[in-house]
Amino acid sequence: MTTPLSPGRGIQSDSSVRAATTAGDNGISSSGSAVAGVCPTTIARPRLSPLPFIYLRNLPYNRSSDLQQLLVDRQIRLRKDREDQRKTTAAAAVAAKANLDSDISFETPMHAPALEEDGRHDLLLLVEHTPTYTNGRRNRGVQAISDQEAARLRRLGATYVESLRGGEITFHGPGQLVAYPILDLKPIKLSVRCYVSYLEKAIIATCAQWGVKAITTDNTGVWINDQKKIAAIGVHVQRYITSHGLALNCNTDLDFFKEIVACGLTGKETTSLARELKSLQIDVGRVIPSFLKGFGSTFNRELVPLTETDPDLERRIQEYVRTGTHSLLDV
């Protein structure tokens, strides 16, 4: 049995969703694997619309975080509009039924159709960041690294950011495929634990298409073996809407990981598809089609470019990335 989410509550799992969760402030943050509990073998799929995606290159991490929050807020606002419309339609139907014998004429049908939760506003952000070290919620505030350590990391040519996602310090940068699904978990009736498990499956399916066998272990993320990690996972969920997500190393400069204890795991190393395949031909652009196939099959969604489903939103996102103007995503 999966654990349902509760709207408006916050749950944070410091290092792994295998661990017990504790109350947080405004969302749910998790990282790690989903061995505990039983997750459905397939997504419970009501009539879900195709899932649009957009690819953003050379995106600063802070700009991507702000973009995700704007899109989450948009999802929540649009869902409330749908719920208000449903209530209005239902009330009109009740009024029509009560007045069937009167002389009042109603255009509203007596049995108003239910408004489907069809995932029409879901979105998959595919990102390649500029060099950035990010720390998760476990290590924010008083638990953050020292100013001296943050300055040392910046001298390596990267920025340092404290993030809302679950997990500990890691690196994002060129050659790494970062996926931020902005999904409503309510229609697919998926717990956070099982959602993370599906993200793992999508990464494993992607690696398999390149002939690389990937696995999960007792530690966070997706691994080649107990010592070599190829992908990190850290998610945030607010009122059932997901943000943050996963990072798959394609041809990342792995030297950046040597400067930190990635994800708080001592004695482990980080690898990439390029290193495992001993190939200089691997890059994010070549891996994206494989990831879309793996993600689509795992989540039972058809993936389509955002330009095909909502070119206006695609234009506004691109303009926001360029200018940082928040009002572009207010509708």
DSSP output for 235-247: EEEETTEEEEEEE
Q: What is the pLDDT of residue 223?
A: 97
Any catalytic annotation for residue 263?
A: yes
Q: Domain with 194 in it: what CATH number?
A: 3.30.930.10
Token pair belonging to 243: 């943000």
Token pair belonging to 132: 């950035």
Q: What is the pLDDT of residue 19?
A: 34
First to last CA, the chain: 37
pLDDT-above-90 percentage for the chain: 52
Calculated CA dihedral for residues 106, 107, 109, 113, nearest 10 degrees: -140
In a domain? residue 190 = yes
For 291-313, the pLDDT digits (tens) are 999 999 999 999 999 999 999 99
Confidence grade of residue 33 (pLDDT, cut at 50, 70, 90): very low
Q: What is the mean pLDDT of the chain?
A: 81
In a domain? residue 300 = yes
For 177-209, the pLDDT digits (tens) are 999 999 999 888 889 999 999 999 999 999 999
Confidence grade of residue 46 (pLDDT, cut at 50, 70, 90): low
List the domain range (segments joined by +) for residue 125. 51-65+121-329
In a domain? residue 297 = yes
In a domain? residue 271 = yes
Q: What is the pLDDT of residue 37?
A: 59
Summarize the confidence of residues 73-90 as an average pLDDT.
80
CA distance 261 to 168: 9
In a domain? residue 107 = no
Summarize the confidence of residues 279-302 as an average pLDDT.
95
Confidence grade of residue 166 (pLDDT, cut at 50, 70, 90): low
In a domain? residue 201 = yes
CA distance 61 to 161: 8
Confidence grade of residue 30 (pLDDT, cut at 50, 70, 90): low
Predicted model pTM: 0.81
In a domain? residue 282 = yes
**137 vs 34, residue with greater confidence:** 137
Does residue 289 come out as left (phi exceeding 0), alpha (psi in the -120 to 50 range) or beta? alpha
In a domain? residue 277 = yes
Do the bridges between strand 132-135 and strand 170-172 make them parallel or antiparallel, or are there none, so unpaired?
A: antiparallel
Active-site hit among 39, 207, 250, 263: 263
Summarize the confidence of residues 106-128 as an average pLDDT.
67
Q: Which of 18-27, 290-299, 321-330 has the highest mean pLDDT?
A: 290-299
**188 vs 24, residue with greater confidence:** 188
Instruction: Tell whether the model's pLDDT for residue 23 goes beyond 50.
Output: no
Structural domain total, the chain: 1
Please report which helix (H) or strand (E) contains residue 234, including its range: strand 228-238
CA distance 82 to 44: 21
Q: What is the pLDDT of residue 44?
A: 65
Instruction: Tell whether the model's pLDDT for residue 13 goes beyond 90.
Output: no
